[in-house]
Amino acid sequence: MRVTSSLLLVALGLVDLTTAHPFWQDAETVLSASSVSTNQQKADAVKEAFQHAWNGYMKYAFPHDELRPVSNGYGDSRNGWGASAVDALSTAIIMGNQDAVNTILDHIKSIDYSKTSDQVSLFETTIRYLAGMLSGYDLLTGPAANLVTDSDSVDNLLTQSKNLADVLKFAFDTPSGVPYNGLNITSQGNDEATTNGLAVTGTLVLEWTRLSDLLGDDEYANLSQKAESYLLNPQPATTEPFPGLVGSHISIETGEFTDGSVSWNGGDDSFYEYLIKMYVYDPTRFKTYKDRWVLAAESTMKHLVSHPQPRPELTFLSSYNNGNYDLSSQHLTCFDGGSFLLGGSVLGRQDFIDFGLELVHGCEATYNSTLTHVGPDSWGWDPKRVPSNQKAFYEKAGFYINSGYYVLRPEVIESFYYAYRITGNSVYRDWVWNAFVAINATCRTDSGFAAVTNVNAANGGSKDDNQESFLFAEVLKYSYLTHAEDAEWQIQEGDKNTFVFNTEAHPMRVKHT
């Protein structure tokens, strides 16, 4: 069932904040504590946060993958190639942070992608390292060309991208062409999985195609598009329970789906995200991808849309498996509003834009209902499963918290950013700012930003000693872009985009420009 636009108006303007959101008072205090008011000052405040985290990373963790922001140690969760540095590159470029950019370019020269002692994730390596370098290359050979004078450092980004893809490409050497995700690059071995996941299989095609287009060598594009071909033509038919909505696992042997479990949650999410982004990247070559996204989007509006009983004006997406609906969702899922907004804008479909805004409002509710005004990692709204100690919270908020962690994820801010850029309505810009201020107040440490264990407890419960590289790549980039001036790399309305963001928020130049 779709919600009418009059219900959307209620969600937009007529909700009584003082009764619906008893904790709003706390956010007023937080907001007035910061003296910034203009967009320029807000953009500068995000730059300050970036510099703070960058300094801490440089001091205690570089060239390791990530900072431990409580103990001031470091971690190497992404093969020890300096994930935070590479992931920070495109944000540093967009912020005009020449110092950080030069440090990162020097570091990338020194990476040997053929060496690591740990298993390599094809997906994570593609979205963080490969995309980070390709985006840096596209920006520094394009609209940010004046930031770096040493053209060798810039050319090296493409050389290293090719080096990395050459290390990884054996992953696709399987009977079907569906890759293994867990790789041993030393032995050219794999984790012996029999299936690969929907998102990890379907979130390679933008990066590997971009690499091919830049090199003029279609080897990499072909590998990723061959894998994707099974996702675009799902077999057997039972694994596509609604048109465009497909199962979660694909056989590496045959390319057939092994289940029909459907969602936009983690594990499935960025497969749908990339269908429409490939069309933005090149509408000529990727029309079929767009058609599949439209089918999925229409089925989602019909079959997965869900409104919590206590607050029917809110919209969340449920998931579906074999006749059963699961009424729970995740922070990761909140990219969905942005995806509907991008698709709606690019295709001129107001129904997708309206639905995207409903999803954005649902995700905002998960933020502005908690004590910290940061949203939880996962939540539910199944009336039969409300935990007894959350009954009052559920009645007011419309959901109960399944995991109260916040691990510096970007998706809610990301979708606010799309909502602001596409509608021009400053409400969504304010929501980005509120989220940024709340994250800064809750997660900040002396050296960076930490994950927290309970967004509905004072100070976020306790701090978890980890700072994922996507803090730099995504949270700080979307927070900054929302308040920064218009630029070529910003999301534009309709068919005017000259960049498209990968799932890690690395902007890549679209093909036709």
Ligand X SMILES: *[C@@H]1O[C@H](CO)[C@@H](O)[C@H](O)[C@H]1NC(C)=O
Q: Which of 470, 226, 215, 463 is nearest to 332 (CA)?
A: 470
Q: Does 222 bind ligand X (CB under 6 A)?
A: yes
Nearer to ligand X, 195 or 368 (CB): 368
Nearer to ligand X, 174 or 184 (CB): 184
Does 219 help bind ligand X (rule: CB under 6 A)?
Answer: yes
| Residue closer to ligand X, measured from CB, 101 or 397 | 397
Q: Is 45 in the site for ligand X (CB under 6 A)?
A: yes
- Residue 218 binds ligand X (CB under 6 A): yes
In angstroms, rounded to a whole number, what is the distance separating the alpha carbons of residues 2 and 173?
44
The candidate with the shortest Cα–Cα distance to 356, out of 423, 408, 270, is 423
Q: Are 209 and 224 in contact (CB under 8 A)?
A: yes
Tell me the residue ranges of DSSP E strands in 256-398.
305-306, 316-317, 319-321, 324-326, 328-330, 378-380
Active-site residue identified among 218, 377, 486, 495: 377
> Which of 98, 186, 194, 233 is the binder for ligand X (CB under 6 A)?
186
92 touching ligand X, by CB under 6 A: no
CB of 119 to ligand X, least distance (A): 5
DSSP assignment of 47-88, as one string? HHHHHHHHHHHHHHTTTSSEEETTTTEEE-TTTTS-HHHHHH
Cβ proximity of 376 and 404 under 8 Å: yes
Q: Taking the complex as a whole, how short is the minimal distance between the CB of residue 219 and ligand X, in angstroms? A: 4
Minimum CB–partner distance for residue 164 and ligand X (Å)? 17
Compute φ and ψ for 67, nearest 5 degrees: -80, 145
Q: How far is the CB of 440 from ligand X (least distance, A)?
A: 4
- Cβ distance to ligand X smaller for residue 219 or 465: 219
Long-range pairs, 284-293, Cβ under 8 A, ≥24 = 284/511, 284/512, 285/511, 288/232, 289/228, 289/232, 290/347, 292/232, 292/244, 293/244, 293/343
386, 434 in Cβ contact below 8 A? no
User: Residues 6 or more apart from 35 whose CB is under 8 A from it?
Assistant: none
Q: Does 364 bind ligand X (CB under 6 A)?
A: yes
Task: Out of 107, 285, 349, 444, point to the residue binding ligand X (CB under 6 A).
Answer: 444
Within 8 A by CB and 6+ apart from 285, the residues are 278, 511
Which candidate, 274, 302, 295, 298, places its Cα nearest to that of 286? Answer: 274
The contact pattern for ligand X, residues 115-134, with x = CB under 6 A and - = no contact, is ---xx---------------
Provide the minimum distance between the beta carbon of 150 and ligand X in the complex, in angstroms, as a whole number. Answer: 32
423 binds ligand X (CB under 6 A): no
Pairing mode, strands 319-321 and 324-326 = antiparallel
**Measured from the CB atom, is 361 or 409 closer to ligand X?**
361
Nearest alpha carbon to residue 508 among 127, 122, 136? 136
Provide the 8-state DSSP code for 169.
G
Q: Note whether 349 binds ligand X by CB under 6 A.
A: no
Rounded to the nearest whole angstrom, what is the least distance from the CB of residue 236 to ligand X in the complex?
A: 25
CA atoms within 13 A on the CB side of 489: 28
Q: Tell the residue number behind the tokens 């379907």, with chain if given.
A: 202
Pairing, β 378-380 against β 305-306: unpaired
Does residue 435 touch ligand X according to CB under 6 A?
Answer: no
Which of the stretches 136-144, 244-252, 340-348, 436-444 binds ligand X when contact is defined by CB under 6 A?
A: 436-444
Q: Is 503 annotated as a binding residue?
A: yes
Residue 155 is a binding residue for ligand X (CB under 6 A): no
Place of tokens 């675009």: 232
Binding mask 4-43 for ligand X (x = CB under 6 A): -------x---x-x---x--x---------x-x-------
Binding residues for ligand X, total number by CB under 6 A: 25
Least Å from the CB of residue 21 to ligand X: 6
| Residue closer to ligand X, measured from CB, 175 or 189 | 189
Looking at beta carbons only, is 14 or 237 nearer to ligand X? 14
Query: Of the two residues 32 and 110, which places its CB atom closer to ligand X in the complex?
Result: 32
Residue 44 a catalytic site member = no
Span near ligand X by CB under 6 A; candidates 272-280, 282-290, 363-371, 451-459? 363-371
Q: Six-digit token pair at 142?
A: 């394009």
* Spatial separation of the C-alpha atoms in residues 487 and 480, rounded to whole Å: 12
Q: Give the residue numbers marked as catalytic.
A: 377
Task: Pick out the residues of the known binding site.
Answer: 503
Task: Pick out the residues of the known binding site for Ca(2+).
Answer: 503
Residues that bind ligand X (CB under 6 A): 11, 15, 17, 21, 24, 34, 36, 45, 118-119, 184, 186-187, 189, 218-219, 222, 361, 364-365, 368, 431, 437, 440, 444
